Amino acid sequence: MSAPTLLHYVLDPYSRLIRLMCAEYGFDVELKDVKPWRREEEFLAINPAAETPVLQAEGKLSIVGISAVMMFIEENTETGLPLLPNNLVDRAETRRLLDWALFKFSDDVSRYIVEEKFVKNDMKGQTPDTNVLRVARLNRAEHLSYFDYLLSTRKWLAGEELTLADFALAAQISSLDYLSEMPWDDFPEVKEWYQRLKSRPAF
């Protein structure tokens, strides 16, 4: 049985989260690079929303979007290392911060920086908008200040155990770091947390 194929692009934080999950769980996938902003017909036939990630499983089954792919992997692994806690309180906190990383942080910060500094390099006639970058960087400081506070009070983002929330935020931050958009010295708790996370085999 062949491994599922992950349609992704290298700096997409959502795709980075899926790659981290697969590495952590030992879930084999083949990688296929796509450029969804080009809106190519073949990709739009799979996902009309023109977004990654997409996981192509057996037959014609396509799992589309970050939430669907994330849950598919979570539900189809038996590693004994669940990234979603069993305890209801811990699970609720994990989901709160998972949503924060996936949607709030992404919508306020990373998707703008990735688009301006990476995606536009592949689009003819496009140049980064400095006003967009300025606002995204201001938003970045507010978010990272909150995460810095949280990480001063607990070992991992959602508590004392590593969870999916850690991987989700790390995926966002790793894309920013690649683009030299992480002011590490201003957020020492986030820096120390990220260094610990990067020591895991999944990275």
Q: 131-142: per-residue pLDDT in tens?
A: 999 999 999 999
CA 102 from centroid of its chain's CA atoms:
7
pLDDT band at 114 (very low <50, low <70, confident <90, very high): very high
Sequence-distant (≥ 6) Cβ neighbours of residue 186 within 8 angstroms: 141, 144
For β-strands 54-56 and 62-64, DSSP reports them as antiparallel
Over residues 14-64, the pLDDT tens digits come to: 999 999 999 988 889 999 999 999 999 999 999 999 999 999 987 678 999
What is the reported pTM?
0.93
pLDDT at site 61:
86
The percent of residues in the chain predicted with pLDDT above 70, rounded, is 98
* Cα 65 from Cα 159, distance rounded (Å): 27
HSE of 196, CA atoms in CB hemisphere, 13 A:
13
In the predicted model, what is the mean pLDDT of the chain? 93
